[in-house]
Structure 1
Amino acid sequence: MNEQPARTLIYKRTETGDEIGLGYLDAQGRLWRAGGNVEVGRVTGDGRVLRKTAYDERELGVFTAEGEVHSHGLFEGGALGWVDADGVVNQGGLIFGEEEVGRVAGPQQPAAAAALLLLFLPDDAEESRRFR
């Protein structure tokens, strides 16, 4: 991925500890998948993450300015994770044990962390299941 100052880059951590770039958040709040530059959603100024669908958008969850992420859908919703000050994204809550799942780099860390947890990681897991 080509780093530009207005972008916040989104990486997932693999089981081997490597990082893979999944996408980025642009200065206008649009979420883009890496590679094909496909717009997959957006974040709003009031802390919501929206997935782009064929005909509309669907709200996946919310995030705080402090970097806490809450899901609307996963097992009735709830705390999903957070981002540390250094950009490390952690997944954890009632359902999941605490685990480092990725990293974000750029000016919009809380929003990008929410996108990683709510949109990019679930999509990546679904794609992996299809190829098994």
Structure 2
Amino acid sequence: MSVPSGLKYSNEHVWVKQEDDKFRVGITEHAQDELGDIVFVELPDVGDQLAATDTFGSVESVKTVSELYAPISLVVVEVNEELEDSPELVNESPYENGWLIVVEATNEEELDQLLTAERYQGFIDQE
């Protein structure tokens, strides 16, 4: 199971990648593996403002529907519109083509509360 270094992770299996002054967000390989074949992704609207741990959408698989939780307080600046027609990208490429949203952080200090790749690997090993 891939846990790329250089990303930050939440306990809700969401990854965050800093890209200059913005952050790309998706679900981890572990999360998509647990969910199974993803058939629908519901994402927020551009401009939505959320606090850390607020629900920002959901992922529906053949097994279940799982809520998505904001890893940090944020404003949505872009959504991955490809997922509307190709939700399977989350399964096929969770860290590249299957990203969910791009955001601006409204409280960057919250990034320090997220897990490093090593700590996230330890977290999923405990589950």
Q: TM-score, normalised by structure 2?
A: 0.31
User: Larger relative contact order (C-alpha < 8 A, sep ≥ 6)?
Assistant: 2
Structure with greater strand percent: 1
Superposition TM-score, scaled by structure 1 size: 0.30
* Structure with the higher fraction of residues in helix conformation: 2
